Amino acid sequence: MSDTGTPHDAPGGSETPPHGAPGRSEDETPAISLRGVNREFRRPRTSLTSAPAVVHAVRDVTLDIRPGERFGLVGESGSGKSTLLRMMSGLDRPTSGEIHIEGQPIQDSSARRLGWLRRRLQLVFQDPMSSLDPRMRIREIISEPLVAQGIPRGSKVDDLLERVGLSTDAALRFPHQFSGGQRQRISVARALAPDPHILIADEPVSALDVSVRAQVLNLIDEVVDGFELTLVFVSHDLSVVRHVCDRVAVMRAGEIVEIGPTEQLYQDPQHPYTQQLLASVPRLSEALAGRTAAELAERTRAALAGEGATDEAAALRLAEEGARADAGIDGGAGLRAEDVRHDRHEDEGGTIA
């Protein structure tokens, strides 16, 4: 971690990449740089005579993400968001094009370079249950990335658990003993363990109940600030991206069709596809749009401190109602958690799901 942990390591020693080691001050060097990146998948032939179908999942993406930026990627299902993230993370290779992380090319990386990359860049996925090994205790899960780097097991686990809002007792338990939101906190703790610079989150709250979503978003918001991370955040839910990102790219059929500062893109969308996506954002998301996660967290804390909220869920509801009222949406005071859930499910089943 940036304040108490080991300093961020440069890829030094025997691992020094040929282009020199970028430090933490690489203001000019993008955290992530893509040039003409394409990814094609060949689908199996459907008959002996047919040519194999080619899916062009990512088309000619050129993009720079600055250090410390919170970058959002939105687009409908199948638009290529995850494929792009997998390539940025070294989990997949582009068919053509170049990818640099902190100035280092990764598209043809050796295992050693990928080891360096794993310390710099960590991922959080949508479904915490399937990304956490059910047979491992939380202590092992969180310290796994540390052990891989030769850092003593358990040395940071308690600290990381506290940073993500879990008690240190959690270390000895198994994933199934936690709720979905808690499991996602554990995933975040594991991602933070190697002290990365870059956090890549692929739909990190989409599988969570809406009452927990804001809490996990708040957590991501806090750790990105506290650990001075660069964030790449994917969601099909535009209101979620608006909470956490300061720049957004809209993907459609593998291409980035629009990119810009979050507020500008939401207030004045240029591309018809972006306009269509925004038109599908439901009423509640509208109400919460423009409310940053930090603001919601502050409202939640205020509701807990004041009268009217007996627990965190009630406080969150009050915070959301307040945000909605401020956004000028009628009927905010009467909104119940069930209504919120209903709104979201409609969203998920709609055109942007």
Ligand X SMILES: Nc1ncnc2c1ncn2[C@@H]1O[C@H](COP(=O)(O)OP(=O)(O)OP(=O)(O)O)[C@@H](O)[C@H]1O
Nearer to Mg ion, 82 or 122 (CB): 82
Return the one option of ligand X, Mg ion, none that residue 77 interacts with (CB less than 5 to 8 A, by type): ligand X
Site residues (CB under 6 A) for ligand X, limited to 28-47 = 41
273's CB contacts (< 8 A; 6+ apart) are: 250, 252, 257, 258
Residue numbers 236-255 binding ligand X by CB under 6 A:
236
- SS3 (DSSP) at 48: coil
**Which residues in 82-101 contact Mg ion (CB under 5 A)?**
82
Q: Which residues are within 8 A (CB) of 17 and not within 5 positions of it... i.e. 6 or more apart?
A: 11, 104, 113, 116
Contacts with Mg ion by CB under 5 A: the residue count is 1
The nearest distance, CB 336 to ligand X, in angstroms, is 29
How many beta carbons lie within 10 A of that of residue 38, not counting itself?
16
Compute the distance between CA of residue 189 and CA of residue 224 in angstroms, rounded to an integer. Answer: 12
Using the 8-state DSSP alphabet, how is residue 225 labeled?
Answer: H
> Which residue number, 44 or 152, has a Cβ lying nearer to ligand X?
44
Amino acid at site 83: T
Under the binding rule (CB under 6 A), the answer on residue 269 touching ligand X is: no
* CB-nearer residue toward ligand X: 84 or 171: 84
Please give the residues from 58 up to 97 whose contact with ligand X meets the rule CB under 6 A.
75, 77-83
Q: How far is the CB of 85 from ligand X (least distance, A)?
A: 8
Q: Using the minimum distance from each CB to ligand X, give the nearer residue, 17 or 254.
A: 254
Query: What are residue 70's phi and psi, to 5 degrees?
Result: -110, 105
CA angle 330, 334, 340 (to 5 degrees): 85
Give whichever of 41 and 174 is closer to ligand X, judged by the CB atom: 41
Binding segment for Mg ion among 79-87, 92-100, 236-244, 306-314 (CB under 5 A)?
79-87
**Spatial distance between the Cα atoms of 157 and 351, rounded to a whole number of angstroms:** 41
Query: Tokens for 52?
Result: 């194999």
Contacts (CB under 6 A) with ligand X, residues 200-229: none
Taking the complex as a whole, the smallest distance from the CB of residue 138 to ligand X amounts, in Å, to 27
Q: Which entry of ligand X, Mg ion, none binds 104, CB below 5 to 8 A by partner kind?
A: none
Residue 79 as a binder of Mg ion (CB under 5 A): the answer is: no
- Distance of closest approach, residue 206 Cβ to ligand X, in angstroms: 9
The answer to whether 57 contacts ligand X (rule: CB under 6 A) is yes
Binding span for Mg ion by CB under 5 A among 75-83, 216-224, 277-285, 317-325: 75-83
**Nearest to ligand X of 6, 130 (CB atom):** 130
Contacts of 75 (CB under 8 A, 6+ apart): 81, 236, 250, 251, 252, 277
Q: How far apart are CA 17 and CA 115, in angstroms?
A: 12
Q: Which residues pair with 199 in a beta bridge?
A: 122, 231
Nearer to ligand X, 78 or 105 (CB): 78
Q: Cβ of residue 202: shortest distance to Mg ion, in angstroms?
A: 6
41 makes contact, choosing from Mg ion, ligand X, none, with CB < 5 to 8 Å by partner type, with ligand X
CA distances from 261 to 69, 129, 182, 241 (A): 11, 33, 31, 12
Nearer to ligand X, 163 or 236 (CB): 236
What six digits make up the tokens of 282?
Answer: 């439901």
274's contact among ligand X, Mg ion, none, with CB below 5 to 8 A by partner kind, is: none
Query: What is the smallest separation between the CB atom of 196 and ligand X, expressed in angstroms?
Result: 22
| β-bridge mates for residue 247, sequence order | 71, 261
Burial (0-12, 13-18, 19+ Cβ within 10 Å), 84: buried
Contact residues: ligand X, CB under 6 A? 41, 55, 57, 75, 77-83, 236
- The contact set with Mg ion (CB under 5 A) reads 82
